[in-house]
């Protein structure tokens, strides 16, 4: 082939490639953008560092025979796949194009996605899937059963679980089997008003958007880990999340120079926590005063709000933060909170992210509805995940820590490294008031019908005595009291000490955790 023929070939390929990368017709693209949505490749460009995307298998369409006319029938089969970089670190990415066949999944479409899933697993780098699909393509129904084969998307997602980070960005419809695939990822992001997720068709009189609304999954089902206002925020938040994570499970999380003084002390920490156990306080404010630059990347913020989970940095090192929220249900633990905690702990443990617990809980909520929904079974998940974790674990007992709360916010009882307390802590089987009511029941009952004023005085006296006894017990259980103002420098130094922690465990295929 002469150089002239080669140039002509390159021009033809460039022309066809440009048309394929356009996706659907200009009219479809304009309708798509009118909804406030970016196109498939615009999303990839916003996610990745500029100029780093290398698209693969652009020419893979089910009807292509080599002519431009045939390629136009299903450009790239409605999905862009390839690799690039986020913050100068490599990732694989795939993005469905709803302007081509509605982003529906068929044989070639699924093959392209599974190809990059397999390559991401082999390369040991994260993979991000951008979902905008109406589900399976009916015309390709016979071949589509390959979705369930060992070469399928869900197979490679399962094999990659705990090996490389997987993130699903639902930025449109996510229907049928795609909903299962999306939820197999470590984190699921959704966009308000423009994304929805459901498996089965909605019942009569209901719309898919209503049943599978992003806010429903963020607040009620817990299927959504991060709810974004629009496409732009969703992609930027994904970039931020990746900055906290290692590329794979044999690597430590990246160290980032945040410019925040590791020896910073905060006087405000002396004023936040009231000694009155019935009064709430702002746990997020405590977190913001402790972590680098006050930044917490919160996970599942709107679901199980009595527990706070998220990523932060301490001296530049990624840490998983788990904290009770006394502003929601008094910080008590529920079965949803148990699921939220267990899921987060297991992710952090799989990817070498140390855990910091900030405890203030009256234990599991004593409610009939919780018990009858399976609180015991869900509570077992917390015990399993906490005991199984082998990463550094540090617990700071902020205030109350009663009963089963000591297992859920584990200290050293389940293999953690440090159990530290603020002087405001009160720990025991139950709170001082409840304990006094039981222990001094007869004494208080004798005063009940005789002298109301004497009863109140004696009850207050006994509660005060119980508080002193419970706070005395902390000296037995805790390893050290620290000045709240020193919490940040204490944690940073402790994480350095335990950075290379190792623990030998009995050999086994896997644990048999109650799911």
Q: Over the stretch 173-227, which tens digit does the pLDDT of each residue have?
A: 998 888 999 999 999 999 999 999 998 877 777 887 788 999 999 999 999 999 9
- Domain membership flag for residue 452: yes
Instruction: Say yes or no: 67 and 150 in one domain.
Output: yes
Contact of 127 with 160, CB cutoff 8 Å: yes
Q: Are residues 94 and 66 in the same domain?
A: yes
Residues 220 and 328 in one domain: no
Q: How far apart are CA 371 and CA 360, in angstroms?
A: 22
Give this prediction's pTM: 0.89
Q: What are the pLDDT digits (tens) for 398-425?
A: 988 887 777 888 877 788 899 999 988 8
Are 299 and 309 within 8 A, CB to CB? yes
Has residue 449 been placed in a domain?
A: yes
Q: What is the pLDDT of residues 456-466, one digit of tens each?
A: 666 666 767 66
What is the C-alpha to C-alpha distance for residues 268 and 430, in angstroms, rounded to an integer? 29
CA distance 309 to 289: 16
Check whether residue 486 and residue 467 sit in a common domain.
no
For the stretch 86-126, pLDDT in tens is 999 999 999 999 989 888 888 888 889 999 999 999 999 99
More reliable by pLDDT, 488 or 478: 488
How high is the mean pLDDT of the chain? 87
Domain shared by 103 and 192, yes or no: yes
Average pLDDT over residues 480-505: 93
Cα separations in angstroms, 98 against 41, 224, 257:
11, 21, 40
Ranked by mean pLDDT, which of 8-12, 36-40, 132-136 comes out on top? 36-40
Residue 39 and residue 83 in one domain: yes
Could you tell me the CATH number of the domain that includes residue 134? 3.90.226.10
Q: Which two tokens stand for residue 292?
A: 């680098």
Cα separation, 231 vs 78, whole angstroms: 19
Give the Cα separation of 199 and 212 in Å (integer): 9
User: Considering its fold, how many domains does the chain have in total?
Assistant: 3
Residue 445 has pLDDT above 70, yes or no: no
**Residue span of the structural domain in which 103 resides:** 3-244
pLDDT for the residue numbered 91: 98
DSSP secondary structure code for residue 164 in this structure: S
Contact (CB, 8 A) for 97 and 40: yes
Strand partners, 314: 317
- Specify the DSSP element, H or E, that contains 160: helix 153-160
Task: pLDDT band for 67, please (50, 70, 90 cuts).
Answer: very low
Whether residues 9 and 134 fall in one domain: yes
How many CB atoms within 10 Å of residue 4? Answer: 8
Would you call 26 helix, strand, or coil by DSSP? helix
């Amino acid at each position: 082939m002469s150089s002239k023929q080669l140039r002509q070939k390159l021009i033809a390929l460039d022309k066809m490639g440009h048309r394929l990368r356009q996706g659907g017709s200009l009219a479809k693209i304009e309708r798509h953008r009118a909804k406030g949505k970016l196109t498939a490749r615009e999303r990839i460009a916003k996610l990745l560092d500029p100029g780093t995307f290398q698209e693969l298998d652009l020419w893979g369409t089910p009807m292509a025979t080599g002519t431009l006319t045939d390629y136009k029938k299903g450009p790239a089969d409605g999905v862009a796949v390839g690799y690039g970089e986020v913050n100068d670190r490599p990732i694989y990415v795939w993005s469905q194009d709803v302007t081509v066949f509605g982003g529906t999944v068929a044989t070639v479409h699924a093959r392209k996605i599974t190809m990059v899933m397999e390559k991401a697993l082999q390369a040991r780098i994260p993979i991000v899937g951008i979902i905008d699909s109406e589900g399976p393509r009916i015309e390709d129904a016979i071949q589509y059963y390959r979705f369930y084969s060992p070469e399928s998307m869900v197979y490679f997602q399962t094999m990659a679980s705990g090996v490389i980070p997987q993130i699903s960005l639902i930025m449109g419809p996510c229907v049928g089997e795609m909903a299962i695939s999306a939820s197999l990822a470590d984190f699921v992001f959704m966009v308000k008003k423009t994304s929805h997720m459901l498996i089965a068709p909605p019942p009569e009189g209901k719309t898919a958007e209503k049943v599978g609304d992003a806010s429903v999954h963020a607040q009620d089902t817990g299927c959504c880990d991060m709810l974004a206002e629009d496409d732009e925020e969703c992609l930027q938040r994904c970039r931020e999340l990746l900055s906290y994570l290692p590329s794979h499970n044999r690597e430590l999380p990246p160290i980032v120079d945040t410019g925040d003084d590791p020896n910073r002390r905060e006087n405000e920490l002396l004023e936040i926590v009231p000694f009155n156990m019935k009064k709430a306080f702002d746990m997020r404010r405590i977190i913001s005063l402790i972590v680098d630059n006050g930044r917490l990347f919160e996970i599942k913020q709107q679901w199980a709000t009595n527990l706070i989970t998220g990523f932060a940095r301490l001296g530049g090192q990624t840490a998983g933060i788990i904290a009770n929220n006394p502003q929601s249900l008094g910080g008590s633990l529920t079965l949803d909170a148990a699921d939220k905690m267990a899921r987060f702990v297991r992710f952090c443990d799989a990817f070498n992210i140390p855990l910091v617990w900030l405890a203030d809980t009256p234990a599991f909520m004593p409610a009939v509805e919780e018990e009858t929904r399976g609180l015991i079974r869900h509570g077992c998940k917390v015990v399993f995940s906490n005991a199984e974790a082998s990463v550094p674990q540090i617990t700071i007992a902020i205030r109350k820590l009663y009963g089963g709360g000591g297992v859920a916010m584990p200290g050293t009882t389940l293999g953690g490294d440090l159990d530290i307390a603020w002087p405001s802590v009160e720990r025991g089987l139950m709170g001082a008031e409840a304990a006094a009511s039981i222990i001094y029941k007869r004494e208080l009952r004798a005063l009940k019908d005789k002298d109301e004023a004497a009863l109140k005085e004696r009850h207050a006296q006994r509660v005060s005595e119980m508080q002193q006894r419970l706070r005395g017990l902390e000296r037995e259980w805790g390893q050290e009291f620290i000045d709240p103002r020193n919490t940040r420098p204490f944690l940073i130094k402790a994480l350095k000490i335990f950075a290379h922690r190792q623990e030998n465990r009995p050999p086994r295929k896997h644990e048999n955790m109650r799911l």
